Structure 1
Amino acid sequence: MNYSILKWALVAPTLTAVALIAPNAQATELTVAELDQPAESMASVTSVSQLSDVRPTDWAFQALQSLVERYGCIAGYPDKTYRGNRAMTRYEFAAGLNACMDRVNELIAAATNDMASKQDLATLQKLQEDFAAELATLRGRVDAVEAKTATLEKQQFSTTTKLKGEVLFAISGLLGDERADGSGADLDDQTIFTNRARLNLESSFTGKDRLRVRLQARNTPSFSGASGTNMTRLGFDGDSGNNVTVSKLYYRFPVGERLKIQVDAASASFHNGYVTRVTPFGSSGSGAITRYGRFTPNIRPGGTGGAGISARYKFNKMFSLEAGYITDRSSNLPVDKQGLFDGSNKAIVQLVAKPIKNLTVGVSYGHAYYQAGDVNVTASMGSGFARRPFGNGSATRTNEIAAQARYKLNKQLEVGGWYGVQLADQVVGGTGEATVTNWMAWLAANDFGSKGNTLGLMFGMPPKVTSTGGGLVRPVNNGDNDTSYHLEAFYKYKLNKKILITPGLAVIFNPEHNNSNDTIFVGTIRTTFKF
């Protein structure tokens, strides 16, 4: 027997397998996902010529020929290939080694003189002795991996569900002289410490779908009560007294290669569905610190989101069409003027385009209807007059147009902004008309200071009633006769992969679009934990 051939056949696979599991191995071409997959079914071959990708010029041709034709312990893939240039998995190594050992045992049992001799057996014994340490190491590592796998299988949360969480701690406060509601009362400026905890249970049944159940507890109040204006609201506010609620429940799935759909059963929102926020500041946990700084109010539902649906159809790499419909939380009430289609609702359609490299543009049209007593044109942003131009007692309908843009100047700098118009009509109780306008410009400096950190700057005008008609009289006091400006800056510091610290400051000039009101400052230090 040729000692060098058998040594190559047995030693090379062994060293490859050791390399695949050793911390400093060289053969690391395979990913963890690939290593976890079982090898393809192999079929034994009786001649090296049956392997279509093995050539006489290959450096291991003679060794393969000997192992195939003399010992018959080499197998090929179902497509008649050997694939000798790729790294082997542990499955493949185990299958190949087992085949060779079985064949050797058969030859020993048959005691065929012209096949296996005492010299062959001596050679095999010598190889086992030479590589006893490597084989022992390999066996120990495989045993350890099996033990860990068994432990994970016993202790895993679910075979289909993953648990993801986010916790916010925030120290926040206001600074200013008087409230912006015209009362003349002093601003409530006590510093507060609040929190928000979210647990997302995410399940997948096909590998391409997602069922999300979000549990949430929080105690961050809206600063509108302390300041007299919604312009001071934080982007992560909301107070349930730290009682746990189901704050999100949806199922998303693909239909073919181009269409994706999301069905919301509770707390539906366009921006958490398939309607794109063309801004890097959209996240409440890691984006802008204020509600208005996150994204345009045109793509928010005005009421308290109940059930809804959103979808995205991707034509190609350049264009995609998005649409959504959301009804009020009373969608589960089977009574008149309620339900899925007869209550307050909002629909939107948006075209997102990437006409050139690094530029993303979104143009949207929305239509909303608000019942009397449930009017919220601006999704609780901007002035009180813009939110309810005809009061809360008059049913209101809006037609809305908005444009968003985001352009990457380079790897570090991005610029962008949005512009939105809402044309409101008084449906019941009069014939009033109002035009509500908002705009924002922003700059993001990524990896500012160090990798993973972001500096954000924003300047814009919160929603304002810019014109009225149809007999609507603009209020004398606090009636959007002037212009408010929103200036915001924050710095997101990435402490590590799981913890973000974001100090931020927003300045509201002429709150409630009234230059008689004092400037109000909104500050926070938000710490975000993700797990």
Structure 2
Amino acid sequence: MTKTFWRLVKVSPVVLAATFLAANSASAVEAQEKITTVAQLSQESNNIGQVTSVSQFSDVQPTDWAFQALQSLVERYGCIAGYPNGTYRGNRALTRYEFAAGLNACLDRVNELIATATADLVNKQDLATLQRLQEEFSAELATLRGRVDALEARTAELEANQFSTTTKLVGEAIFSISQAFGDRRAVADPATPVAGDFESNAAFANRVRLSLLSSFTGKDQLQIRLYAGNIISNTGAAAGSATNQLTGTNQTRLGYDGDTTNNVQIDKINYAFNFSDAIRVRIEATGARLYDNVNTFNPDFTSSGRGALSRYGRFSPIYRQGANGAGLTVTFAPQNSPISFSAAYLANNANNPGSATGVFDGSNTIFGQLSFRPSQAFNIGLTYARSYQTTPNLFGSTGSFRANNPFVGTPRVDSNNYGVQATFQPSSSLTVGGWAGYTTADSLSGARRDADFFYWGATLGVKDFGREGNVLGVIFGQPPKVTGGSVGKENGTTYHLEGLYRVRISDNITVTPGVLVIFNPENNNRNDNIYVGTLRTTFTF
């Protein structure tokens, strides 16, 4: 029996505890109480009640030497029973039958626990299948292991030589071919003799922008943009000047022109961050432009690289107030609210500490815009800008020469600009938009004069036209025109018509052919219409 007993002990720690407990509770004095038959055991077991806590035994104390073993068997494994009167009788002798019954109960309980714990584990057949698959695909596994090792090595090399952990590079390059067509150059003054013929050759030029975008908290962004290009304006010089070349009007300007003779310049430095979940703040050291900071309500055509081809067709001229200086823009846009508000202050010569310059004494713009979006399909904005300019260019070279500089020879001009813009998207593939603006201006030096201006535009964008990602666009409108005031109004009216088709070659390449037609340039009915053909290719990375 001793050998059999120890073999049972090796099977389970529970058996060892039960046997150890039973062996030490035997007493020769109580031998006459032993149960010697199965029938007697059955009869005695009927008088035993199952317990769930050792504290239920009135004759078991924590000071008993076997208390911990009994507690484990009762509370952890649930395989020890007591008598109906709440006693365990730990000092009475143990019969072989009682030992067999207790041991069997504990083994059944242990098997139940093992089955529960391993029900979801793999069996031997599953392990054999896995081993066979591993042998069959050993070559592929070795190749994969080698590729993982190579990737780890490359990743370590990149981490050791990376440019920055906080900065990424975003770039855009434009290749442009354009040519202006027309019988004669435009003139600003109807009393001026009609200009002679102009000769414009096809020009192939480029513009490149590289932006370094850094984030330090994950919710902020520092932008430093490098710029270079050699795209000469179709005017060849300021419209109305004695050195006018080509078309003679800024109304034929492209939306992405600019000439640095391909010398690299830093044209934009700003830092934006969230003041709260609803407030976004942007501080600009240079290159501040309203149209980069606020909604212009012309989503298909705002971008100079992927939007309209013309300068006027990108958005309302009200967003060209106070361009290229320093400034502060704050946007308040509560979540789940149809209303948002943007406010800005821009100073063109903020870096100059001289007389009539600086943050407050030089040219500056105060701007505010209230946006209302009652649904995903409709969005409307009401905009106001007050501008003070020491070198007048009221509409950022998008209107006639007289509209941009109505008080020739007057260096200080104050203007109040009012605008309304809207976008309607009846479907995911169709966008209809437009704007209208009214401006009043006053000269602040010399003879006091005033002028009124009006302009409007309408746009139509058809997405996925012919192919997914393509956009067909039509833009029509009236650029800024002097409509009244002491300076008198312009007698003619210019109309701007533009058609373009942006073709998506890939996620990073688009090609946009288009035609621009200017009717009655410079708001002068004596001028001939001027046409501009353009092919723009844009690479983004």
- The TM tier, using the shorter chain, reads 0.7 to 0.9
Structure-2 residue corresponding to 1:81: none
Structure 1 CA distance, aligned partners of 2:259 and 2:126? 77
| Change over 3 Å in CA distance of 1:489–1:193 after alignment to 2 | same
Counterparts in 2 of 1:63 and 1:314: CA distance versus 1, 3 Å? farther
Q: Distance in 2 between matches of 1:217 and 1:410?
A: 38
1:198 aligns with 2:209: yes
Matched, 1:348 2:367: yes
8 Å contact 2:392–2:404 — kept in the other structure? yes
1:424 maps to what in 2? 441
Select 2:506's aligned residue among 480, 485, 496: 496
Distance 1:279 1:439, change over 3 A: farther
Q: How does 1:428-467 map to 2 (within 5 A)?
A: 428-467=445-484
Residue 174 of structure 1 pairs with residue 226 of structure 2: no
For residues 210-249 of structure 1, what are the structure 2 equivalents within 5 Å?
Answer: 210-225=221-236, 226-249=246-269
Conservation of the 8 A alpha-carbon contact between 1:275 and 1:324: no
> Is contact 2:410-2:443 (8 Å) kept?
no
Partner Cα separation in structure 1 for residue 314 and residue 115 of structure 2 = 66
Partners of 1:394 and 1:429 within 8 A in 2: no
Q: 1:255 to 1:209 in 2, by over 3 A?
A: same
Q: Is the 8 Å Cα contact of residues 492 and 523 (structure 2) preserved in structure 1?
A: yes
Q: Match of 2:254, as an amino acid?
A: L
Please give the alpha-carbon distance, in whole angstroms, between the structure 2 residues aligned to 1:245 and 1:229: 27
Question: How far apart are the structure 2 equivalents of 1:365 and 1:228?
Answer: 31
Per-residue CA deviation, residues 461-514 of structure 1 (Å, 9 max, x unaligned), is 00001111xxx233xxxx621111000000001111111100111100000111
| Aligned-pair CA distance for 1:66 | 3.2
Equivalent pairs counted in the alignment come to 412
Sequence identity percentage: 44
- The 5-angstrom pairing of residues 90-101 of structure 1 reads none
Which residue identity is paired with 1:344?
A: S
Map of 2:421 onto structure 1: 404
8 A Cα contact 1:278 1:362, kept in partner: no
- Verify: 1:522 aligned to 2:532, yes or no: yes
Q: Report the Cα distance in structure 2 between the residues aligned to 1:266 and 1:491, rounded to whole angstroms.
A: 33
One of 199, 214, 220 as aligned partner of 1:209: 220
* Aligned mates of 2:209, 2:537 — CA distance in 1: 14
Aligned partners of 1:217 and 1:178: how far apart in 2? Answer: 32
Whole-angstrom distance in 1 between the partners of 2:415 and 2:392: 11
Indicate conservation of the 8 Å contact 2:296/2:302, yes or no: no
The DSSP-based 3-state class of the residue aligned with 1:146 is helix
How far residue 187 of structure 1 moved from its aligned partner, in angstroms, is 2.0
1:215-254 alpha-carbon deviations (Å, 9 max, x no partner):
1110011112321111111000110111000011111111
Q: Which of 118, 127, 133 is the aligned partner of 1:66?
A: 118
Contact 1:299 1:348 in 2 (8 A): no
Partner in structure 1 of residue 487 of structure 2 = 473
The match for 1:290 among 297, 305, 310 is 310
Cα 1:416–1:124 change in 2 (3 A) is closer
Counterpart secondary structure, 2:490: coil
The letter of the residue matching 1:473 is V
TM-fit CA distance, 1:519: 0.2
In the alignment, the residues of structure 2 paired with residue 448 and residue 62 of structure 1 have an alpha-carbon distance, to the nearest angstrom, of: 66
Corresponding letter in the other structure for 2:185: R
C-alpha contact 1:500 1:528 (8 A) present in aligned 2: yes
Q: Is the Cα contact below 8 Å between 2:180 and 2:200 reproduced in 1?
A: yes
2:330 is equivalent to residue 311 of structure 1: yes
Unmatched segments (≥5 aa) in structure 2: 1-75, 77-112, 237-245
CA contact (8 A) 1:235 1:284 kept: yes
Q: Give 1:255's aligned amino acid.
A: F
Residue 473 to residue 398, structure 1, CA distance change in 2 (3 Å): closer
- Give the stretch that moved more between structures: 213-222 or 312-321: 312-321
Residues 156-195 of structure 1, C-alpha deviation per residue, up to 9 Å, x if partnerless? Answer: 3321111111110101111001111245122232111110
In structure 2, do the counterparts of structure 1 residues 312 and 124 end up closer, same or farther at CA, with 3 Å as the change threshold?
same
Counterpart secondary structure, 2:398: coil
Distance 2:326 2:178 in 1: 32
- Counterparts of 1:130 and 1:189 in 2: how far apart (Å)? 73
1:131 to 134, 139, 144: 134
Partner of 1:383: 400
Instruction: Show structure 1 runs of 5+ residues with no match.
Output: 1-46, 48-60, 69-73, 75-118
Matches of 1:383 and 1:424 in 2, distance apart? 15
Change in 2 beyond 3 A, CA 1:62/1:272? farther
**Comparing 500-509 with 147-156, which one deviates more in the overlay?**
147-156
- Structure 1 distance, partners of 2:210, 2:167, is 12
Could you tell me whether the CA contact under 8 Å between 1:279 and 1:417 is conserved in 2?
no
Which of 169, 181, 197 is the aligned partner of 1:163?
A: 169
Identify if the C-alpha distance between structure 1 residues 359 and 430 changes in structure 2 by more than 3 Å, giving closer, same or farther.
same
> Which residue does 2:49 correspond to in 1?
none
Amino acid at match of 2:332: Y
- How far apart are residue 138 of structure 1 and its match? 6.1
Are 1:502 and 1:525, in contact at CA under 8 Å, matched by a contact in 2?
yes
**8 Å CA contact retained: 1:172, 1:192:** yes
**1:388 Cα offset (Å):** 1.1
Q: TM-score, normalised by structure 2?
A: 0.72
Runs of 4+, deviation exceeding 6 Å: 61-64, 122-126
1:127 to partner: Cα distance: 5.7
1:432–1:131 Cα change, 3 Å: same
> 1:375/1:392 Cα in 2 relative to 1: closer, same or farther (>3 Å)?
farther
Task: Read off the aligned partner of 2:417 and give its amino acid letter.
Answer: E
**Greater Rg over alpha carbons, structure:** 2
